[in-house]
């Protein structure tokens, strides 16, 4: 196999080797990292608009009113609800995500490929549709248990996919050595395999917890109040952006704690991963024979798929078949679909493009400044959509008036909302690129931009595709920001779904929910293939 001494060289694709040709040696590198820093900072400024808005608004209320607001009886309950839910669901998604990834990537369980796609598929169903499906079939799904159930079933793929990708890419040799030294299967799993996946677990947990902090629709469906739903109520009942912003600050503080914890896990991960050779040097594992454990494992996976995918599919089918009269005007589902798809694709392209400079800066120049930008960007994810949307309204009407309520503004709002998803995907793929690659290419005389276009970007192409799919998927189901930012007269699938469910027309809402799901399926398949792709291509190359 590969020599440990030359892992970077083994990882060089043809484009890099071409860059090493004598013809490429002529030019010296030029350009300044200043440009990159400026672009990244500009992106960060735009993405942080909602934070600025919330802090500005909250700043308008005096200390006294802040104290009174946070001293209300419901606030302690909300804080407890939010924390309890975040901890429980994050733990549940980590457990399910890891087990499912391990079974499908490292064992000889039958139907591994099909299971991998099916296990990722709940991502295609938006959280509030998950909620609607559960609640419409089982009215008893509500409160804390309902929230845990709905959120776990819709969010565990955020852990499953990165862990599966890591398991597939990482080198099996370490585990084999550990086993040959007489360690038991469980001990190897605990001491070797689990530490390998720690970065993926930490990244997934971060996304899951941030989702939970900001989620509204699904909690409204299962009637569970958290800070995010309370902030909504504050906006809706008292038209009070100031108090709502004070509450939103609490969410931001929670998000700071969560991202801090993830960064802590990242620091620790350095030790665990040192022995792991990633990238092209890795050799795929021989599947672990499950033996008698096969049947229970199969049943387990089938149960997960049945719960997380079976319920929404059945519920949507039920409502589609039952579809009744509606007291709302009928709208063209095709127009809404085209509009939704258009916005989702454009947003995905813009958000991915915006994530590249920020991710590159953090990768090439790790330090307080670049880390700060990355973490600031993540905080927005914890804000409820309405706070983000009002922030975009606030800044757009002052500084971009002609674009207000025009398509670019909706795209801008989406990019702000989904930037962390893009950033996560791009950063994850950069983590697999050996640091020396760019330097080698540049020392061979390539300009920075050429290095970026011909070396770096091709290397992280899977990450770019994952980012694109992830953002397109989420944007096509966005609801709350869309309601405020969409051009007057335009409808997306989510806004139609919302109109119908608030009008009690479950039957009429079902086709829109089904279409949102169908539209998301290609993105999930792309995501699954891209996430799991590299190992396959390695085998082909080998």
Partner 1 sequence: MVAVGAALTSVVLAACGSGSSKPVAAGRSAGGSLAGQSITLYSGQHEQTVQALVKAFEAKTGVKVNVRSGDEAELANQILTEGKASPADAFFAENPPALTTLEEKGLLAKVDASTLSAVPAADSSAGGDWLGVSARSAVFAYNTSAVQTSQLPTSVQDLAGAAWKGKLGIAPSETDFTPIVTRMIKAVGADATKTWLQGLKANGKVYDSNEDLISAINKGEVAGGVVDHYYWYRMRDEVGAGAVHSALASFAAGDPGSMVDVSGIGILSSSKHQAAAQALLAYLVSQPGQQIIATSQSYEYPLLPGVTAAKLDKPLSAAGPLVPATDLGDGKQALDLLQSVGLLS
Nearer to partner 1, 195 or 413 (CB): 413
Cα–Cα nearest to 376, from 414, 418, 427, 420: 420
CB of 235 to partner 1, least distance (A): 5
Tell me whether residue 209 or residue 495 sits nearer to partner 1 (CB atom).
495
Residue 2 main-chain phi, psi, to 5 deg: -75, 150
- Smallest separation (angstroms) from partner 1 to the CB of 342: 3
Q: Are 116 and 164 in contact (CB under 8 A)?
A: yes
- Which of 109/464 has CB closer to partner 1? 464
- Closer of 180 and 237 to partner 1 (Cβ): 237
Cβ distance to partner 1 smaller for residue 393 or 444: 393
Neighbours of 25 (CB within 10 A): 13
Beta carbon of residue 289, minimum distance to partner 1 (angstroms, whole number): 43
Q: Give me the residue label for tokens 């409204």.
A: 220
Q: Are 383 and 214 in contact (CB under 8 A)?
A: yes
Specify the residue, 165 or 523, whose C-beta has the smaller distance to partner 1.
523
Say how far apart CA 494 and CA 499 lie, in whole Å. Answer: 9
Query: How many angstroms separate the CA atoms of 167 and 370, rounded?
Result: 28
Q: Name the residue nearer to partner 1 (CB basis): 225 or 456.
A: 225
Q: CB of 479: closest distance to partner 1 in angstroms?
A: 11
Residue placing its CB nearer to partner 1 in the complex, 251 or 444:
251
Whole-number minimum distance, CB 162 to partner 1, in Å? 25
- In DSSP notation, 178-202 reads HHHTT--HHHHIIIIIHHHTHHHHH
As to burial, measured by CB atoms within 10 angstroms (0-12 exposed, 13-18 middle, 19+ buried), residue 457 is middle
Query: Nearest distance from residue 459's CB to partner 1, in Å?
Result: 16
Distance CA 480, CA 397 (A): 19
Q: How far is the CB of 372 from partner 1 (least distance, A)?
A: 28
Distance CA 383, CA 493 (A): 23
Residue 523 contacts residue 472 (beta carbons within 8 Å): yes
For the chain, how big is the Rg over CA atoms in Å? 24
Q: Tell me the two tokens of residue 215.
A: 């989620």
Q: Residue 263 has which token pair?
A: 């960064």
User: Which residues of the chain form contacts with partner 1 (CB under 8 A)?
Assistant: 72-75, 77-78, 139, 220, 223, 225, 229-231, 233-239, 241, 247, 324-329, 335, 338-339, 341-343, 345-346, 349, 386, 390, 393-394, 397-398, 401, 404-407, 483-484, 486-490, 499, 501-507
Closest separation between CB of residue 488 and partner 1, Å?
4
* Residue entry with tokens 């990159």: 36
CB of 227 to partner 1, least distance (A): 8
Q: Are 280 and 422 in contact (CB under 8 A)?
A: no
Which residue lies nearer to partner 1 by CB, 314 or 399? 399
């Amino acid at each position: 196999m590969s020599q440990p001494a030359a892992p970077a060289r083994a990882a060089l694709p043809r484009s890099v080797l071409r860059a090493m040709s004598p013809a490429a040696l002529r030019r010296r590198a030029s350009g300044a990292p200043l440009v990159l820093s400026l672009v990244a900072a500009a992106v960060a400024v735009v993405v942080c608009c909602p934070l600025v808005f919330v802090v500005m608004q909250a700043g308008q209320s005096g200390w006294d009113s802040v104290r009174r607001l946070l001293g209300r009886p419901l606030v302690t309950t909300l804080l407890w609800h939010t924390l309890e839910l975040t901890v429980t669901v994050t733990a549940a998604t980590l457990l399910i995500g890891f087990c499912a990834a391990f079974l499908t990537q490292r064992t000889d369980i039958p139907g591994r490929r099909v299971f991998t796609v099916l296990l990722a598929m709940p991502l295609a169903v938006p959280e509030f549709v998950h909620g609607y499906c559960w609640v419409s079939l089982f009215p008893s799904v509500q409160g804390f248990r309902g929230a845990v159930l709905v959120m776990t079933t819709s969010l565990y793929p955020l852990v499953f996919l990165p862990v599966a990708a890591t398991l597939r890419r990482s080198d099996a040799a370490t585990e084999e050595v550990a086993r040959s030294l007489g360690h038991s299967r469980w001990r190897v799993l605990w001491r070797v395999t689990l530490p390998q996946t720690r970065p993926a677990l930490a990244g997934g947990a971060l996304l899951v917890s941030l989702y939970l902090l900001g989620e509204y629709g699904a909690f409204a469906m299962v009637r569970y109040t958290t800070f995010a739903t309370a902030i909504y109520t504050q906006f809706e009942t008292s038209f009070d952006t100031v108090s709502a912003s004070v509450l939103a600050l609490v969410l931001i503080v929670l998000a700071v704690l969560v991202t801090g914890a993830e960064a802590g896990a990242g620091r620790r991960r350095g030790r665990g991963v040192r022995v792991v050779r990633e990238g092209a040097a890795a050799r795929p594992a021989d599947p672990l024979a499950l033996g008698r454990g096969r049947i229970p494992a199969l049943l387990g996976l089938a149960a997960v798929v049945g719960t997380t995918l079976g319920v929404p599919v059945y519920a949507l089918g039920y409502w589609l078949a039952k579809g009744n009269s509606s007291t709302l005007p009928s709208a063209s589902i095709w127009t809404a679909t085209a509009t939704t798809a258009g916005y989702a694709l454009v947003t995905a392209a813009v958000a991915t493009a915006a994530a590249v400079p920020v991710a590159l800066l953090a990768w090439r120049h790790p330090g307080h400044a670049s880390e700060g930008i990355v973490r600031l960007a993540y905080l927005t994810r914890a804000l409820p959509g309405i706070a983000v949307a009002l922030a975009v309204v606030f800044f757009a009407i002052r500084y971009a008036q002609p674009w207000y309520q025009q398509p670019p503004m909706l795209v801008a709002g989406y990019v702000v909302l989904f930037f962390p998803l893009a950033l996560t995907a791009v950063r994850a793929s950069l983590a697999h690129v050996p640091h020396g690659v760019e330097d080698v290419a540049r020392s061979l005389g390539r300009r920075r931009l050429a290095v970026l276009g011909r070396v770096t970007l091709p290397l992280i192409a899977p990450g770019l595709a994952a980012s694109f799919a992830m953002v397109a998927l989420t944007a096509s189901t966005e609801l709350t920001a869309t309601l405020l930012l969409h051009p007057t007269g335009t409808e997306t699938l989510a806004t139609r779904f919302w109109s119908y469910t608030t009008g009690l027309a479950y039957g009429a809402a079902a086709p829109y929910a089904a279409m949102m799901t169908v539209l998301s399926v290609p993105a999930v398949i792309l995501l699954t293939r891209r996430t799991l792709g590299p190992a396959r291509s390695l085998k082909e190359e080998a």
